[in-house]
A = this chain, B = another copy of it.
């Protein structure tokens, strides 16, 4: 009965309006597929926007919080997981996702991409050019750059062999 879980990573407080719009649209599309959206759970940036996109379209949202309570949690998160681990929770974010999508972000997001790739998770980069730092993963098709939210969905369907669900 395990749900298919898509991890959505990206900038927090510093995320631009454009990036948040992408995140919202991605959350919406994930919800429409019936997939669970998982993110870092906070009420800012890509976390807030992607969760809102999913919840406003009937999705289920899981937030892996760095905090010891839900005070800073997004109100669009159904199921907050309280880790109390700070950025140590980034490892849980990616391990708990069947596939990871990374939108533009900074060091926190890079750490999640790196931890995902290190542990054999496929990472889809949504409009997030990060140079050649993970060139070998790109060549091995573990790191896949795409331009739009709908491309993310298409890639996931191709990779995991979904037709509809």
Which chain A residues have a beta carbon within 8 Å of chain B's beta carbons?
1-3, 5, 36, 55, 60-62, 64, 68, 70, 73, 75-88, 90-92, 95-96, 106-108, 110-111, 114-115, 117-119, 130-134, 136-137
A91 to B114, CA, bound (A): 13
Residues of B within 8 A of A106 (CB): 118, 136
A130 to B108, CA, bound (A): 16
A85-B80 contact in complex given A117-B107, A118-B107, A134-B107, C-beta closer than 8 Å: no
Cβ-defined partner of A70 (8 Å) among B2, B61, B78: B2
Closest to A108 in B: B118
Q: Is the CB of A91 within 8 A of B88?
A: yes
A130 to B117, CA, bound (A): 16
